[in-house]
Amino acid sequence: MLSKENAADVFDRIRRMSAADEVEVIFNSSRFALTRFANNIIHQNVEEENSVVSIRTNFGGRSARATTNQFDDESLRRAVAASESLAKVQANDPDLLPMPTAQEAGGDTRAVKIPARFFEQTASVTPGSRADVVKRMAMVADRHALTTAGIYSISSSGEAIFNSRGLAKWHDQTSAEISITMLGADSSGWQKFNSPDVGNLNPQHLAETAAEKAAQSAHPRELAPGKYTVILEPAAVLDIVGVIFYDFSGVALLDQRSFLNGRVGTKLFGENINISDDVMHPLQSGSPFDGEGMQRQRLQLVENGVIKQIAFARATAKKVLASEFARKVGPVIPTGHGFALPNEVGEMPMNIVFESPENANARGEIQSIDQMISSTERGVYVTRLWYIREVDPYEKITTGMTRDGTFLVENGKIESGIRNFRFNESVISMLSNVESMGVPVRASGEESFDMVVPAMKVNDFNFTEVTKF
């Protein structure tokens, strides 16, 4: 993989090759290895390593980007020439800002203390050790007379951004991930977890939990659709709330396509909902700088149910300050959440953390999942949600289905497995009806990006239809 020193050398060569007013170079270097299993055996093992350099050149208000994964001089010259020739035929962009200096971007990342996100023990995991882990998980399936399928992956990555105004930043990290499904004749169970540190994975526990869900949900009953109290595991919470965070964006507000238009500063959710974007959180992962090299700032997106802050890229902040929205959207400053230019998306918070409300334990709002179940007279326990689609963008009504472990809760106990439901539910309504929640944990789903979220007990969740499985 590419090192920071290699990247700096490549940037120096590119800079000498370019005649542009400004040059920016983004590096992405990665090694990804995957072991895939099904029917209780490994059926695929792949590994890929690649490094890509993306070159953006500016001529006044004209800018363009070209990429290559070859670092010899001839290949770099062709990429520089492609970027420059594309830039020269662009229309002038009056909103294009000069590239940020190191000072404007927040300085060298070496001065920023972020939690360790590169672990050698993760990077050094071998195909053989992955196979041993899969074997142990398959043995759990055999013991319970179930069929298992899933993946175990390992990755190492490095990303860097350099520009001709003195910016130079580098971040590297690792990731280990397991997703496992256990299948019975008429039931299934699922679990997923990832972490930069492979030592945080517990494959045996994931396999046993998925197997227990498959066994407990066998011979599912059919429950009539309607509004129920639901207990959502963190993965289910993550996947349904994920649709709202694309709207915490200055560009979305300017385009008037955000559900937050006219709502910033208002109480939209329950008082027990507090959400931040915090790349420094110990359970988060990812780079501490954005696509322009700007240091990511902590944002208090929601405080006691009130919408407080929005993410802004540099150019977006400038446009909003000159618009009718300037006094309607809270603090308007570059927050370090922009994507690499040029782009049409602008910015987005990507390090979501649901926080425990102040004095929550005293009010009984923080509960374990077992406590949520024991305090429920009649409700539905949901392991995960899938096939989620947006129905109403402004009210954030979504539809989707439960999957891989859906249960009837009666008189404080899990009574039986039930057939899966289709739901139609507003995320705004859901986050206004949270009766209690667990301690926020790092969670992974299938429909949205990783977050730090709690399990939630939600009242009046709207199930509209029973599925056939």
Q: Which of 346, 342, 341, 319 is nearest to 332 (CA)?
A: 319
Name the band, by pLDDT with cuts 50, 70 and 90, for residue 111. low
Would the pLDDT of 110 be above 90? no
Residue 109 pLDDT greater than 60, yes or no: no
CA distance 464 to 365: 28
Which structure tokens are listed for 77? 């010259």
Per-residue pLDDT of 243-279, as tens digits, reads: 999 999 999 999 999 999 999 999 999 999 999 999 9
pLDDT at 107: 54
Question: Residue 298: which pLDDT band, with cuts at 50, 70 and 90?
Answer: very high
What is the predicted pLDDT for the residue at 357?
73
**Digit-coded pLDDT (tens) for 120-139:** 999 999 999 999 999 999 99
In tens, the pLDDT along 394-415 reads 999 999 999 999 999 999 999 9
Beta strand 168-183 with 226-232: parallel, antiparallel or unpaired?
A: unpaired
Residue 356 clears pLDDT 90, i.e. is over it: no
pLDDT of 365: 81
Choosing among 3.30.2290.10, 1.20.120.1730, 2.60.120.260, 3.40.50.970, the CATH entry for 4-209 is 3.30.2290.10
Average pLDDT, the chain: 96
Q: Given pLDDT bands bounded at 50, 70 and 90, which one contains residue 363?
A: low
> What residues does each domain of the chain span?
4-209, 220-469
| Strands in 397-439 per DSSP E | 397-410, 413-417, 421-426, 434-437
pLDDT confidence of residue 364? 66
CA nearest to 452, candidates 442, 462, 438 = 442
Would you state the pLDDT for residue 361? 65
The secondary element (H helix, E strand) that includes residue 211 is helix 203-216
CB contact set of 118 (below 8 Å; sequence gap of 6+): 156, 172, 173, 174, 196
Sheet of 188-195: strand order equals: 62-68, 41-59, 22-38, 147-163, 168-183, 188-195
Q: In the 8-state DSSP scheme, what is residue 92?
A: P
Give tens-digit pLDDT for 303-352. 999 999 999 999 999 999 999 999 999 999 999 999 999 999 999 999 99
**pLDDT score, position 1:** 87
Residue 183 has pLDDT above 60, yes or no: yes
The rounded distance, in Å, linking the Cα atoms of 393 and 243 is 9
Backbone φ, ψ for residue 188 (5° rounding):
-155, 160
Percent of the chain with pLDDT strictly greater than 90: 93
Q: Is 405 left (phi over 0), alpha (psi -120 to 50) or beta?
A: left
pLDDT tens profile 407-458: 999 999 999 999 999 999 999 999 999 999 999 999 999 999 999 999 999 9
Q: Which of 239, 118, 236 is nearest to 176 (CA)?
A: 118
Contact yes or no for 298/318 (Cβ under 8 A): no
Are 452 and 301 in contact by the 8 Å Cβ rule? The answer is: no
Averaged pLDDT for residues 206-216? 98
Which pLDDT belongs to residue 66?
A: 98
